[in-house]
Amino acid sequence: MWTTVLSPRHFSWPRGGGRVLQPLTDGCPKCLTEVHGVPILGMLLSCLVEQGFKRLVVVVGYRGDQIRDYLELNAP
């Protein structure tokens, strides 16, 4: 008898310039746009951790340096 244990995983691709959200995204990628003082990426990460996700992969591109800086300071 085989037993498979699946580990929850989520992949998030914060991409694009965020033209739809301009001028809110003029200085940052849309995943770092704040809602009630908290970046959207922060909200997403908090929810995933609360749901039991242990490993999170964030693929960055546009303004990836800002996303990496945010994650280094705020990763759960």
Task: Name the pTM for this structure.
Answer: 0.71
- Confidence band, pLDDT 50/70/90 cuts, at residue 52: confident
Q: How many domains in the chain?
A: 1
| Omega of the bond leading into 23 within 30 degrees of 0 (cis) | yes
Provide the mean pLDDT of the chain. Answer: 77
- Cα separation of 8 and 26, whole Å? 34
Contact 12, 59 (CB under 8 A): yes
Asked whether the predicted pLDDT for residue 70 surpasses 60, the reply is yes
For CA atoms 57, 38, 36, 46, give the dihedral sign: positive
Q: Find the radius of gyration of the CA atoms of the chain.
A: 15
Q: Which domain holds residue 67?
A: 26-74
- Cα separation of 39 and 35, whole Å? 6
